[in-house]
Each structure stands twice: as structure tokens, then as C-alpha cells.
Amino acid sequence: MKLTIQVNEGPYQHQASDSAYFFTKAALEKGHEIFRVFFYHDGVNNGTRLTTPPQDDRNVVCRWSELAAEHALDLVICVAAAQRRGIVDDGEAERNKKDATNIAPGFRISGLGQLVEGGIQSDRLVVFGD
């Protein structure tokens, strides 16, 4: 089965990000294809490389980055939600005249059309969070 995953919550405010990560990991282990993971609303905060949890806590951002590297996942952050929350890649930094970037490895910023495409191309769109 081909799946697109939508994550609507940040990494430390809600269980949704953890649930989405473990669901995605389990689906891959069972042989399912993950077409895309789309981070929307506060979910875009899963893609900032500046998150630094305490040593005894889980590093949600690193887990997503490592899973993406291991399985060539397409981790997409919604551009409008990213702009509102200060998530910036090279292109957005240049376009908006920002002097730094903070996107985590394995993530990219793109438009809501990527979510629509995921819904069309996949057998299921699974949403985590409100």
C-alpha cells in the first residue's frame, strides 16, 4: 500500500508527531511505500535543526531526519506554515532576505500542492493531529 502521512502538530506539544513517526517506521518495516510525509500547521516545527532537547529526552527532529535518510523519504514542510513559524531553507532565506536558515537535514519546503499530490498518488492519506 502507498501512503502519504500528514503531521499537524509540533514535536513536543502533542503525541501526534511521535505517533506519526512510529506509524511511518512500522509501515516501512511491513513493506508499505511512503509516498510523502507532509508537515502542516505546527507540524512544521518537526523540521527545524535548531531543536535541542535535553540529553535524556528523545530527539524527534533527528529521528525524522534519520528515517528519511535510511528510506529516502520525501519530508515536505508547508511553505506558508513555515513562514509563519520561522522555518527557513536557502531558497526562502534568499527570497525573504533572511540571514540564516534552520531547516533540518532531509526536509524541504514546498507548497500545499505537495499534500494534494500525495493524496492523489497514494492509496491512503493518514493524518496525525488536529
pLDDT in tens, 1-30: 999 999 999 999 999 999 999 999 999 999
Beta bridge partners of residue 129, listed in sequence order = none
Quick one: cell of 35? 509516498
Q: What is the pLDDT of residue 48?
A: 97
In tens, the pLDDT along 49-63 reads 999 999 999 999 999
Which residues, other chains included, contact 8 with Cβ-Cβ below 8 Å and sequence gap of 6+? 16, 40, 41, 42, 43, 127, 128, 129, 130
Span 37-49, average pLDDT? 98
Q: How confident is the model at residue 103 (pLDDT cuts 50, 70, 90)?
A: very high
Q: What is the pLDDT of residue 101?
A: 96
Residues annotated catalytic, as ranges: 78
